[in-house]
Amino acid sequence: MKTTTYKVLELFAGAGGLALGLHNAGFKTVGLVELDKHASNTLKTNKPNWPVYNIDIIDFNKNLHEYISIEESIDLVSGGFPCQPFSYAGAGLGLADTRGTLFYEFADIIRKLNPKVFLAENVKGLSSHDNGRTLKTILNVFDKIGYNVNYRILNANDYDVAQKRERLVMVGIRKDLPNTYQYPHPSKRKLVLRDVLNNVPISDGAKYPEHKRKVLDLVPPGGCWRDLPDDIAREYMAGSYHLGGGKTGMARRISWDEACLTLTCSPAQKQTERCHPDETRPFTVREYARIQTFPDSWIFQGGISSQYKQIGNAVPVNLAHKIGLSIIQFLESYHKENGELNNVKTPIQPEFYF
């Protein structure tokens, strides 16, 4: 049983998938930073009591003391910083070498607030980005500002989400705490589309152009362009036709009895089509939200393109919930063994620590 209220600050908050999951797990949200006005309005609409800062992360970091007291004990800093290349200056890179990137702001805020734990979510490709040097630099920076990092590629379908969405997740534990964090165990049952798309509220949705609709009419549930007549497949795929084993996301119709492929920001885009099982159309906004495990009551602001983008970029709420519970379990275990964790204060690491 949770005995302490743990505080979380979220950076790059988006539409709130990660924040809502952590909230549901028991964290108290003390601030969210999101530059996009529509996503920021989504947060404000659904959680009026959450402090939402619709500002650039650079400005937030420069004036951090105006938003978050440096003396306040923050248990968790969370967020999904964009994957960017670094300008490499040699071995032993530290925080200063990553200046000019959004990762720098993320790591520098962690350095200043010195939370007990941080949680970072990113695309699976971060693990191989720039031949692995990007991830190596990130881990090196976190090590130098005082954190042991556990990272793993998690599939949302293993955590009560009807979607085969793989993401790289990093959990950093401050070095004065035991590095005993364990990722959540996968659920015994994997959800499929029919488990989550029941009685979905009516909402707007993107539409396919007539030519695309006629092509997708020929694709069975669970099928893709390979199920098309060869002449139509050649015309539709154009140069991609000759790529052999790839591009199975093109002209893809999802089956009721499978988990959805990773939802993207553009549901009608040719390379990443996710056609409804029965109807020849993309999933609607509310269907998108269901697949990402947002509650039906969670309202998305902005136009339809912005709403799709917000949902497609989000961390699935149920995945965030499972990770949040595992972090609280770690903090509770330490709290039980070592007394009042929230009263522990440790010095801020120097900015250029090598």
Tens of pLDDT, residue by residue over 132-173, are: 888 998 999 999 999 999 999 999 999 999 999 999 999 999
Q: Which residues pair with 76 in a beta bridge?
A: 8, 117
Closest CA to 95 of 79, 84, 83, 106: 106
Closest CA to 75 of 207, 174, 141: 174
Closest CA to 314 of 79, 150, 137: 79
Residue 325 has a pLDDT of: 98
Please state the pTM of the whole predicted model: 0.91
Distance, in Å, from the CA atom of 229 to the CA atom of 198, rounded to the nearest integer, reads 32
Domains in the chain: boundaries = 7-186+314-338, 193-312
DSSP 72-87: S---EEEE--------
Residue 165 has a pLDDT of: 96
Comparing 203 with 340, the larger pLDDT belongs to 203
Region of 329 on the Ramachandran plot (φ > 0 left; ψ -120 to 50 alpha; else beta):
alpha
Q: Regarding the domain delimited by 7-186+314-338, which CATH topology (the fold level of the hierarchy) does it fall under?
A: Rossmann fold (3.40.50)
For the chain, percent of residues with pLDDT exceeding 70: 89
Q: Are 297 and 249 in contact (CB under 8 A)?
A: no
83 is catalytic: yes
**What is the tens place of the pLDDT at every residue in 99-113?**
678 999 999 999 999
Residue 69 pLDDT grade (very low, low, confident, very high; cuts 50, 70, 90): confident
Residue 343, pLDDT above cutoff 60: no
Q: What is the mean pLDDT of the chain?
A: 89
Beta carbons within 8 Å of 148's beta carbon, 6+ residues apart: 172, 173, 175, 179
CATH architecture of the domain with range 193-312: Alpha-Beta Complex (3.90)
Q: Quick one: average pLDDT of 74-84? A: 90
- E-assigned strand segments in the chain: 7-11, 28-33, 52-53, 76-79, 117-123, 147-155, 163-164, 166-174, 260-261
Residue 270 pLDDT grade (very low, low, confident, very high; cuts 50, 70, 90): confident
Residue 72 has a pLDDT of: 75
Distance, in Å, from the CA atom of 329 to the CA atom of 312, rounded to the nearest integer, reads 29
**What is the tens place of the pLDDT at every residue in 271-319?**
788 999 999 999 999 999 999 999 999 999 999 999 999 999 999 999 9
Residue 88 pLDDT grade (very low, low, confident, very high; cuts 50, 70, 90): low
Question: Which residue is listed with tokens 């969670």?
Answer: 298
**What is the tens place of the pLDDT at every residue in 7-45?**
999 999 999 999 999 999 999 999 999 999 999 999 999
**What is the tens place of the pLDDT at every residue in 241-259?**
777 655 677 889 999 999 9
Residue 352, pLDDT above cutoff 50: no
Distances (CA, A) of 33 to 43, 158, 269: 10, 29, 29
Distance, in Å, from the CA atom of 170 to the CA atom of 154, rounded to the nearest integer, reads 10
Sequence letter at residue 35:
L
Residue 246 has a pLDDT of: 57
Residue 120 has a pLDDT of: 97
Catalytic residue among 83, 224, 260, 275: 83
**What is the tens place of the pLDDT at every residue in 218-236?**
999 999 989 999 999 888 8
